Amino acid sequence: MGHISRRGQKGPDVPQGSHSARKVAGDTVITVAERLVSQAAQFVIFILAARTLGPAEFGIFALASACAMLLHQAAEAGWAPFILSRSGDETVPLQVLFIAIISGIGFGFLGGGAALVAGRFGLTADLVALLLYFALWVALATAWSAQKGVMVWMGRLKAAAWCEIAGEMVGLGVACAALVGGAGVFALVYGRIACQTVSLILGFATTRRAPRTGMARPVMHELWVFSSLIFSSRMLVNLRLHFVTLIIGAFLGPAAVGFYRAAERLVGAVWELITVPGQLLAWTQLRRARDSGPPEERGMRVNLQVARHLKMVVVLGAPLMLWLILLSGQIVGGLLGAEWQPVAALVAILAAGRLLMLMGILTEPLMSLMGAVRRLPGYMAAVFGVSVALTFAAAPYGVLPLAWSQFVLAILVLGATIWLFTRYAGIRWAPVLNALRGAVLPVACGTASIAALDLAAAGHGVPDLVAAVAFGLIGAAVQFGAILVFDRSFGMELLEIFRPTPPPKGATS
């Protein structure tokens, strides 16, 4: 039951006690499940498409998809983060939702018009048609991004994840049926459109809130400034990620690009399982901490929530990165085959870099909620500049030195993030380090068990993928047992999450 604001609107739920712990755990599980479903659906579509389509059709789709993604990033701006940063009633979030819908439609028409004009200058009819379908997808995807933001703001994170899971399942079905039916490359965009349509319809059916018009000028100005800052910082991140790939192609050729992209894709798939739930929960939990008590104690509440959130991120995320580092050879061999073994070293190095960047999950929500969002573009620009310098310095020497340059970048980003949080978000590190201290030994126990199992199984002919999965699960069990032994209060808190909620007094069974 949410609190009621002065205007009589239902605000975000603010759960308390063990119920709060259960809600956080449930939100985490369902958002991780949503990422798993999304990754699995994309993988199935990729395999079926690879067996059905030719390289030329893949090239057409890749070109259209890249254009659509850039258009979507421009249309999406920073609508959802602005919604998630708001306090008060639902008026402004629903007004931002209206603006996001208009933005998506506007950029969709812009993309469609550009495709039609390009058709007049020789662009093939198939590519024009594909771009028109993608223009529709841009409008739907922009609206869903903002609608999901509204649902998370309302405390309906589980419902948002279920809407997305349903959309992914429908999109998978539509894409597969269309591929089998001979729709060719259009089947892939049909699946994307179906996915966004279902998610959006279910989202509106869940919230039963219509977008609103009439945003006040001061709020409109605030929205414009905030969104432009978020947009510029996100674009710098995307440019940095794509820049490395372009430099590899220029210096080292297509084979090196293939190896590096394969390593990035494997690490990125696991990274999403950590970052997407971690960042969504950071928005909700940090906003509650900021708004749930006296203003003069806001910094202390946020500081304690940062400590708690980082501990959860380390306990749940660090083992996944360490698993990739230790078993990269088995994972690559089991998924891609022996000819892709050079990727294993790249996976280990890139995963080590991501391990150091776990704290960065909090950067956007923390800086936004603490009123320091203006610092993000400059911070991201500095990271981009250092990344460019390191990439140019390492690329002539091969793909492995280039991967190590990204590890060096991760070390520098970790130091810069600590400075940023201290200077502009007022974070004191004593509570954070105290919270993290209890996580170190359990994570070390789990990691050591994986390393020991890997060493013991060497030469015994255990299939690579079986070994990777089995050793990872055993390591997770050892880590949880170590938490119960060495960090008992945290372990009991985790156990409390999964205990059934007792019925209210006087309730009948």
**pLDDT of amino acid 45:** 80
Q: How many Å apart are CA 311 and CA 305, to the nearest integer?
A: 10
Q: Could you tell me how far CA 26 lies from the centroid of its own chain?
A: 17
Q: How far is CA 39 from CA 42, 89, 165, 270, 275, in A?
A: 5, 35, 11, 10, 14
Q: What residues have CB less than 8 Å from 174, skipping those under 6 apart?
A: 187, 190, 191, 194, 195
Q: How many Å apart are CA 480 and CA 475, to the nearest integer?
A: 9
Q: What residues have CB less than 8 Å from 333, skipping those under 6 apart?
A: 340, 341, 344, 464, 465
- Please, are residues 358 and 314 in contact by the beta-carbon 8 Å criterion? yes
**pLDDT of amino acid 58:** 60
Tokens of 200: 């959006």
- Please, are residues 319 and 479 in contact by the beta-carbon 8 Å criterion? yes
Tokens 């892709």, residue located:
340
- Per the document, the length of the chain is 509
**pLDDT of amino acid 269:** 82
DSSP symbol at 2: -
Tokens of 343: 């990727």
**pLDDT of amino acid 270:** 87
Rg, C-alpha atoms of the chain? 24
DSSP symbol at 499: S
Q: How many Å apart are CA 345 and CA 256, to the nearest integer?
A: 13
Interval 266-305: pLDDT, tens = 888 889 888 888 888 898 889 889 988 888 899 999 999 9
Q: How many Å apart are CA 130 and CA 134, to the nearest integer?
A: 6
Looking at the DSSP assignment, which residues form a beta bridge with residue 279?
none
Tokens 């690879």, residue located:
50
Looking at the DSSP assignment, which residues form a beta bridge with residue 10?
4
Interval 63-77: pLDDT, tens = 677 678 888 888 988
Q: Report angle CA 66, 70, 71 to the nearest 5 degrees.
A: 115
Q: How many Å apart are CA 81 and CA 227, to the nearest integer?
A: 8
Q: How many Å apart are CA 331 and CA 467, to the nearest integer?
A: 9
Q: How many Å apart are CA 297 and CA 368, to the nearest integer?
A: 18
Q: Up-side HSE of residue 248: CA atoms within 13 Å toward CB?
A: 23
Regions of the chain with pLDDT less than 70:
1-28, 47, 50-51, 54-59, 62-63, 66, 241-242, 245-246, 254, 493-509
Which string of b and e fits 45-59 if b means at least 16 CB within 10 Å? Answer: beebbeebbeeebee
- Please, are residues 151 and 157 in contact by the beta-carbon 8 Å criterion? yes
**pLDDT of amino acid 54:** 62
**pLDDT of amino acid 219:** 92
